[in-house]
Structure 1
Amino acid sequence: MILRTGCALLALTTATPALAQTPSRSELADLVRAQAAEIAALKARLDRIESGQQALVQAAPASAATASSTTPPIQVAQANTTPRTTTPFAPQLAPPGPADRNVAQAIAARDNPSGVTTEWGSGLPVFHSADGIYTFKPRGRILADVSSTFGSRSDARNLTTTGMRALRLGLEGGVGPHFFYQFEADFSENEVDVVTAFMGWRDRIRPGIDYDVRAGHLFNDRGFEGSTGSDSTPFLERTTVATAIIPQRGFYGIGIMPRLFWKTGHASLTVTGDRVDGTQTVSDGRTVLGRAHWNPIKTDDSVLHVGLWAFDESLSPAATTLTRNTVIGGRFNGGLRVSTGPLIGGTGTTGYGVELGGYRGPAWLMVEAGRRDARLDAGRPDFTSKAWSVSSGFFLTGDLPPYNPRLGSFGQPKVLKPTFEGGSGAIELTVRYESIDYTDLVTGGEGWAGTLGVNWYLNSFTRVQVNGIHWNTDNRTGAITGRDDGETVSARVAVTF
């Protein structure tokens, strides 16, 4: 700063001969005042930069996400040395996008503008305006599957099929540190299906306690795998708890979701109507859903996860069918399901479940269980669905499981040695047992499945998955009744950006 002031004086005396010869007292006073103002402005700018660096340290590891081509790499590296226990996002996760950042990360991005910038984190860039106010990111996912079933006593189940589990395009962004939005549409069935579509507001109640409120077409916050996106599940298909103990409207509904976050957990409450549709001639159904998770143990390489959730729904007069055909051996074999049999005249359902698990080093374990009670009209008795699962995984490459302590779910991993940089990627072995029981109904079936899998994460947004499933079903209605078992081998190539 002194050097800059001296240079300015030298330049002024050189460029102004009159001053260089005999400067008057008033001219010298004006010069001193001008230099004092410049020094004050430089000091204020330095203070802003230092406060921004502190915000980045508090928000690590997402400081890497707010780095741009003009941000000094040394500053980013320093921010990433923050201990894992102080961050709301685990360091083994890819940096969150504009709609998933917390308040500290959003403020850090706003308060450190350096012109129009672009950051590359997970496949596609995040754009920032010159003043740091506006952020924008394209997003999407491509999940391509192949599945082959054999060993069934029915040839109708011994199929080899292909399918797109997800084919999505969307965007997300924010205005300032508080307002954010996200939109995605899915094209996997050659039809346009609106999935996530919401606007939100986030803020801090006090240090260590944040909140956000989302409104729009919302993804359920329900159970561990039920709250994990299709691009982040450790198996090709979610557990039977996530696919069977669920509101009749499915994974999405239009409504509002406030969420509260603290250092060791979060809680959410969702109130929605039906999912996006074109029916406005009858009232929507109503679903109230709550979930909370807690990490009583949270260290550099260990987490204990405890979760509870519940929902209650009142069905729309236009949606009284409660028939369920639950996936048990892979999504892309339509004949391989566990069925309730035809069931109409539903008025509502109530469901609840528990989650218990965590990870230590490269190994993780999760147990989930749930129950759903469905109410029928005309004085008929309710019926109960039950499901449970035990899942586990181990990273041979030493990577930590991609557990998100902020949301209590899995996210996109930050691979230690990406294959595109000459590394081995991250290699994970997985195993799961799951069960579904609809036998409370006279027409209801039951089934279970055991799965062995391997996941190869080439980098934070590209993966290859293979699952080998031994399944067993006992349906009382449908094209294939009685006990049956067999094997399904499925594979997936996935890119998320």
Structure 2
Amino acid sequence: MKLLKASCALAALVAAVPALAQTPGRDELADLVRLQAAEIQSLRARIDRLEEAQQIASAPQEPVAPPVVVATQEAPAEPPAPHRTQPYAPQLAPPGPADRDIARVLEANAAGVKTEWGAGLPVFHSADGAFTFKPRGRILTDVSSTFGSAYDGRNLTTTGMRALRMGIEGGVGTHFFYQFETDFSENEVDVVTAFIGWRNRISPGIEYDVRAGHLFNDRGFEGSTGSDSTPFLERATVATAIIPQRGFYGIGAMPRLFWRTGHASLTVTGDRVDGTQTVSDGRTVLGRVHWNPLKGDRAILHLGAWGFDEALAAGADTLTRGTVIGGRFNGALRVSTGVITGGTGTTGYGAEVGGYVGPIWLMAEAGERHARLDAGRPDLLTRAWSVAGGWFVTGDLPPYNPRLGAFGQPHVLRPVFDGGSGAIELTTRYESLEFDGLATGGRGWAATIGANWYLNSFVRIQLNAIHWHTDNPAGPYTGSDDGQTVSTRVAVTF
């Protein structure tokens, strides 16, 4: 640093040589000397401030309050319980003066902004821990190929973006939090998660939060698991068919209660985000509870139940459904209801049971949905069930989130980017779907085997091989039909 100071002084002296060569007068020479002395003093002061900033940045930092990481909608990674703290990595040293303005470096350091690098993106914390901010994103890229169908129109090879999201999340203080995400997967801007929330502790071991905005359903095990966390490329038929007509989202409020072995939620919403304000929204009331009667470090038993009731808005009486059975990106491969109009509402309910022991997990779900029709016609009845399981051959634990009773992002023991093998999971699932009550209702089933390679906690590669069967009385692909679909995905979640 002394050499740097001497260099600065020498540079100032050299800069003065041309002026001296012009043989200025005594007054001009005095002014020039004072000017050069002031410049040298200013350079020395700036260098001293830079040294001080580097010393502060390299010193160990005190533990700070944890970031407010809001529950992922479609990816329910929960924040730590309020009033808990944990240390984070020290702040990095700022860049040199050649890269950034010194004044800005000093201003940021004086503000005490902390940066923690987590799942691929930074989390910013104010000095007092009161403010947090984090960008978030999701990129799910799929390739699917279907063959073996008796209909050439079903034997397709397609590509698609299951999700292409960008968003933000953060909080103010211990209690207030927010999240906003948009999706571009269909080459259109679609608002998905968008809410504000408040959380607090009632007593030791009992907490709550209340969220308001555009909310993701808390409905069943896979129905509450984010698209970036499901162990298969697509959710099972219970999640895709036993669902309100408005879909996975709605604008409203959701209070949730958490205790050490489970949680309960109640959701009241209208329609999802749209531009229709000329008629009243539909109304959906949905509740879910899950319980872990056995809960240990390497084993958990999961029990759950849920239900919803939906009143359709005026003019939204079409109940026609075509539910995926062999993957998302084959529009011809569906179990369909046929054309159904005159709907007035839906009611659905389901149950879930499963858990894990060490690296092996198992989950079974079943549900039923009654779609009410006008003019005295019988309900359209939908029945679905599934049994799924997986084994982490590398010994990693399943990414079960006991706070929400759903899957989240895994904790990979040996990430590939640190020289390890990553986490390797083998999966299998059988699912069934049946539409009953009308002559046009179809039925089908699918058996899937798969493999997931988690390079680290937020990057993975998935492969699913599906044998499927459909029997649709109506539509372009009627009668009994069988075939196979092979799908793969590359996924990155921030």
**Which of 190, 208, 211 in structure 2 is aligned with 1:211?**
208
Q: Distance in 2 between matches of 1:227 and 1:491?
A: 22
TM-score by structure 2 length?
0.80
Q: Distance in 2 between matches of 1:390 and 1:382?
A: 27
Deviations 1:319-376 (A, max 9, x none): 1111110000010000000001000110000000000000000000000000001111
Aligned to 1:457: 454
Aligned to 1:438: 435
Q: Distance in 1 between matches of 2:144 and 2:348?
A: 31
Unpaired runs of 5+ residues, structure 2, are 1-56, 67-74, 92-110
1:122-137 matched pairs, under 5 angstroms: 122-137=119-134
Shift of 1:269: 0.1
Letter of the 2:382 counterpart: S
Task: Kindly indicate whether the alpha-carbon contact (under 8 Å) linking 1:361 and 1:398 is maintained by their aligned counterparts in 2.
Answer: yes
Determine whether 1:392 maps to 2:389.
Answer: yes
Letter of the 2:289 counterpart: A
Aligned to 1:3: none
Q: Distance in 2 between matches of 1:133 and 1:252?
A: 30
Shift of 1:220: 0.2
Aligned to 2:79: 100
**Which of 230, 235, 249 in structure 2 is aligned with 1:252?**
249
Q: Distance in 2 between matches of 1:358 and 1:284?
A: 38
Structure of greater Rg: 2
**Are the structure 2 counterparts of residues 348 and 166 from structure 1 closer, same or farther at C-alpha, using a change threshold of 3 Å?**
same
Q: Distance in 1 between matches of 2:76 and 2:383?
A: 35
Aligned to 1:220: 217
Aligned to 1:21: none
**Which of 420, 423, 428 in structure 1 is aligned with 2:425?**
428
Deviations 1:154-187 (A, max 9, x none): 0000000000000000000000010000000000
TM-score by structure 1 length?
0.80
**Which of 177, 184, 189 in structure 1 is aligned with 2:186?**
189
Letter of the 1:104 counterpart: H
**Which of 337, 340, 344 in structure 1 is aligned with 2:341?**
344
Letter of the 2:205 counterpart: G
Q: Distance in 1 between matches of 2:345 and 2:196?
A: 29
1:319-334 matched pairs, under 5 angstroms: 319-334=316-331
**Are the structure 2 counterparts of residues 428 and 372 from structure 1 closer, same or farther at C-alpha, using a change threshold of 3 Å?**
same
Determine whether 1:283 maps to 2:280.
Answer: yes
**Which of 214, 226, 229 in structure 2 is aligned with 1:229?**
226
Task: Kindly indicate whether the alpha-carbon contact (under 8 Å) linking 1:431 and 1:453 is maintained by their aligned counterparts in 2.
Answer: yes
Determine helix, strand or coil for the equivalent of 1:283.
coil
Aligned to 1:413: 410
Q: Distance in 2 between matches of 1:70 and 1:238?
A: 48
Q: Distance in 2 between matches of 1:207 and 1:311?
A: 31
Deviations 1:250-302 (A, max 9, x none): 00000000000000000000000000000000000000000000000001100
**Which of 232, 235, 239 in structure 2 is aligned with 1:242?**
239
Letter of the 1:272 counterpart: T
Percentage of pairs with the same residue: 75
Shift of 1:96: 8.6
Shift of 1:143: 0.2
Deviations 1:117-158 (A, max 9, x none): 111121111100112110000001000000000000100000
Aligned to 1:6: none
Deviations 1:78-115 (A, max 9, x none): x9xxxxxxxxxxxxxxx997x7332134x6689x9993
**Which of 172, 177, 196 in structure 2 is aligned with 1:175?**
172
Unpaired runs of 5+ residues, structure 1, are 1-67, 80-94
Task: Kindly indicate whether the alpha-carbon contact (under 8 Å) linking 2:234 and 2:327 is maintained by their aligned counterparts in 1.
Answer: yes
Aligned to 1:365: 362
Count of residues paired in the alignment? 410
Determine helix, strand or coil for the equivalent of 1:104.
coil
**Which of 478, 482, 485 in structure 2 is aligned with 1:485?**
482
Shift of 1:439: 3.0
Determine helix, strand or coil for the equivalent of 2:240.
helix
Aligned to 1:29: none
Shift of 1:428: 0.1
Letter of the 1:291 counterpart: R
Letter of the 1:289 counterpart: L
**Are the structure 2 counterparts of residues 167 and 217 from structure 1 closer, same or farther at C-alpha, using a change threshold of 3 Å?**
same
Letter of the 1:377 counterpart: D
Task: Kindly indicate whether the alpha-carbon contact (under 8 Å) linking 1:69 and 1:117 is maintained by their aligned counterparts in 2.
Answer: no
Determine helix, strand or coil for the equivalent of 2:451.
strand
Determine helix, strand or coil for the equivalent of 1:438.
strand
Q: Distance in 2 between matches of 1:132 and 1:96?
A: 23
Task: Kindly indicate whether the alpha-carbon contact (under 8 Å) linking 2:282 and 2:311 is maintained by their aligned counterparts in 1.
Answer: yes
Q: Distance in 2 between matches of 1:350 and 1:205?
A: 33
Q: Distance in 1 between matches of 2:310 and 2:206?
A: 30
Aligned to 2:114: 117
Shift of 1:318: 2.6
**Are the structure 2 counterparts of residues 352 and 235 from structure 1 closer, same or farther at C-alpha, using a change threshold of 3 Å?**
same
Task: Kindly indicate whether the alpha-carbon contact (under 8 Å) linking 2:76 and 2:225 is maintained by their aligned counterparts in 1.
Answer: no
Q: Distance in 2 between matches of 1:209 and 1:385?
A: 37
Determine helix, strand or coil for the equivalent of 2:136.
strand
Task: Kindly indicate whether the alpha-carbon contact (under 8 Å) linking 1:69 and 1:118 is maintained by their aligned counterparts in 2.
Answer: no
**Which of 471, 476, 480 in structure 1 is aligned with 2:473?**
476
Shift of 1:380: 1.3
Letter of the 2:367 counterpart: G
Task: Kindly indicate whether the alpha-carbon contact (under 8 Å) linking 1:102 and 1:202 is maintained by their aligned counterparts in 2.
Answer: no
Q: Distance in 2 between matches of 1:337 and 1:70?
A: 60
**Are the structure 2 counterparts of residues 222 and 489 from structure 1 closer, same or farther at C-alpha, using a change threshold of 3 Å?**
same
Q: Distance in 2 between matches of 1:441 and 1:433?
A: 25
Task: Kindly indicate whether the alpha-carbon contact (under 8 Å) linking 1:69 and 1:119 is maintained by their aligned counterparts in 2.
Answer: no
Letter of the 2:406 counterpart: S
Letter of the 2:332 counterpart: G
**Are the structure 2 counterparts of residues 270 and 389 from structure 1 closer, same or farther at C-alpha, using a change threshold of 3 Å?**
same
Shift of 1:378: 1.5
Aligned to 2:154: 157
**Are the structure 2 counterparts of residues 385 and 70 from structure 1 closer, same or farther at C-alpha, using a change threshold of 3 Å?**
farther
Q: Hey, which bits of structure 1, 4+ residues long, moved more than 2 A? A: 68-73, 99-102, 107-110, 112-115
Q: Distance in 2 between matches of 1:335 and 1:248?
A: 21
Determine helix, strand or coil for the equivalent of 1:130.
coil
Shift of 1:414: 1.3
